[in-house]
Structure 1
Amino acid sequence: MSNANGIGQSKAETRNNSNIRGENGHAVSDKAHSIKEVQNLRSVATQYINYVKENYSGKVAGNINKESAKAFLKAKALEVKGSTLNTYTSLMQKVSENLNKDHIGTLNRQDIQNIKQELKNDYTLSKEHINRAYDNTQAIQEQMRHTSMSLSTDLQVEAGLRANDAINSDKWHINEDNTLTISDSKGGITYTTAPISPELLNRVEEAKEMGYKVNYTEYREALKEAVQNTGQEYNGTHGLRYSFAQDRLDELRQNGYTENEAKGQVSLEMGHSRLDITDHYTSF
């Protein structure tokens, strides 16, 4: 991000000094020149790196390439509208240029331009949604009981935590109403979960006292094996968040919430910055 931060720098001057050419052959800047653009660039870069971590084995740097970028952007094409997808591809071009400066991976701007053209040729993908929820989370939880990381799975299933939040007890604050406040989550946000069961709460308290922390890669691999042992398709750690969102939405509606009220509550409990993100988890 230090390479890409162009706040305070003239965009025109940066472009004039650049040897990078866009699709129209004109010089382009590889920097983000506004606070919003820097934030968006950081978000896209983080999402891409997390996608690589979750879906590819080995070191992250070794998987920064056209293949993983194409898979990432195709996954995004299933989630977001066309204008947002264009923003993703534009920002990924800047990501690729700045990774190149540090000699990380083999991804380059031309790769992203080629991927962008492929997405345009098959644009119907952008209107589809994939339900990544698991059919039987209880079976997955039972399989994870054989590991030392089952608490993380239970927190994802019962409270909808992101994997990175569920593996680090330093992020957890226990509230009197049996909810958890999660600090320093994705994008630096803090959010408060749905209430969790007394049994899980006791385990959380014990884990915090012991300084519970789990390696993300080890957790992901253990979860993948657990899912496969149940005969289900592995949908990543994020699949547990999908399952939570849909189960929690049903629970709130049964308790008298309107559809919009329920989605709004789920959005807060999952730490989403926008309601349309929650819609993606719950609308199928």
Structure 2
Amino acid sequence: MQGIKMRGSVYYQTSQLVKMIFAEGVKKKDKIDPSHHHYNYVSSYKTMETYRNVWNNLGNYLKEHWKLKNFELITAEYIEAYFEYKVEYYPSKQYVEKISSALGKLEFALNRYSANKYEEPIEYNFDIRQQVLNSARKFKQVADGYHNRVYPDPHLIIHNLKNPLHKIAAHIQLEGGARSEAVTFIKQEQLRGTIYDEIEGQTVGQIWTKEKGGKEGIVMLSYEMYKILKNYIEKNKQFKIKYQEYANDIRNTCIKLGIKPEGSHGFRWTFAQNRIRAYQDNGYSYEQALQGVSWEMKHYRASISEHYLGG
């Protein structure tokens, strides 16, 4: 996709994509007819505004967290990261369905835009949104709609990743519960030395991160991994990986090992369950463990941690 450039602000780009799927007054029978040129169009201003608001939010998220400013470069991996980001706070069933519908229309708009622009169009497939939606559809009754994304043997996956830098990123997520946007780019000033972790009873390293919604805080990781990261950054000035390549490495490794791919977020889930057990093993109550892990994962409410437990 080198050389591809949809220029302009997030809002300008979404305005161009709106033109690909919006026409006032289109008849319903034409919208559901695959042979009609208005197939899959939107004819309601209010509905189109709702979809575009989601597109704008997605664009601003990708710009802030992934430095991705071009809608044409959006892939399924970015759609998954965004949708996971949105469903992490127990949204309503109606809300997640609205996001899924909006992302489906974005897929259609991008495919139409690309078909109009290139002799060999880019093919967009955002089916991953349906998988995220299915696991989140019953968020009000988490046990019923629960999809456990914990990796039973995360170290096996990490050991078999092809890129050594991806192994470091995965360890940070597994050991500290960091979101993926926090491990794709780490600067030297983010390294905050070591501290004694009373929960694990050992010295750990600290990384300062800024994640979802601008939330700032410390991510802890093993002393051994902290030294590896620190040495790398001292030699190379920074730690930087491409998210899509990282996601692909995890997915391909899981498939090769016969493990169901749960993306980089699976390491965060595994951290949450392991950390809650560590709190309880150290004498904390279940409620105290939930609150402690919520704070460490940059949440405020203890109930958020139950999302990772299935109830």
Conserved? CA contact 2:173–2:179, under 8 Å: yes
1:270 Cα offset (Å): 1.4
Q: Which amino acid aligns with 1:243?
A: T
Q: Which amino acid aligns with 2:217?
A: Y
Distance 2:45 2:75 in 1: 29
Q: Which amino acid aligns with 2:221?
A: I
Q: Which residue of 2 aligns with 1:140?
A: 157
Within the candidate set 189, 194, 200, 2:225 is matched to: 200
- What 5-or-longer segments of structure 1 have no aligned partner? 6-17, 33-37, 54-58, 108-114
Q: Which residue of 1 aligns with 2:57?
A: 42
Identical-residue share of aligned pairs (%): 18
Q: Which amino acid aligns with 1:283?
A: G
1:88 Cα offset (Å): 3.0
Q: Which residue of 2 aligns with 1:88?
A: 96
Q: Which amino acid aligns with 1:88?
A: V
TM-score calculated relative to the size of structure 2: 0.58
Distance 2:300 2:54 in 1: 13
Distance 1:141 1:130 in 2: 22
1:19 Cα offset (Å): 4.8
* 2:197 is the alignment partner of 1:172: no
Distance 2:100 2:13 in 1: 12
Q: Which residue of 1 aligns with 2:146?
A: 129
Q: Which residue of 2 aligns with 1:183?
A: 209
1:216 Cα offset (Å): 1.1
Conserved? CA contact 1:143–1:229, under 8 Å: no
Distance 1:245 1:99 in 2: 32
TM-score calculated relative to the size of structure 1: 0.63
Q: Which residue of 1 aligns with 2:271?
A: 244
Q: Which amino acid aligns with 2:208?
A: I
Deviation string for 1:111-162 (max 9, x for gaps)? Answer: xxxx99xx99xx7687410001011112112213763421111111111112
Distance 1:199 1:153 in 2: 14
Equivalenced residue count is: 236
Q: Which residue of 1 aligns with 2:281?
A: 254
Within the candidate set 155, 158, 163, 2:175 is matched to: 158
Deviation string for 1:83-129 (max 9, x for gaps)? Answer: 712123345666778899xx64559xxxxxxx99xx99xx7687410
Conserved? CA contact 1:156–1:244, under 8 Å: yes
- What 5-or-longer segments of structure 2 have no aligned partner? 1-9, 15-22, 29-42, 114-128, 196-203
Distance 2:158 2:179 in 1: 16
The change in CA–CA distance for 1:129 and 1:238 in structure 2 (over 3 A counts) is: same
Deviation string for 1:11-66 (max 9, x for gaps)? Answer: xxxxxxx9589x9x97527558xxxxx8997379849xx9xx9xxxxx654769xx
Distance 2:295 2:139 in 1: 28
Distance 1:93 1:226 in 2: 30
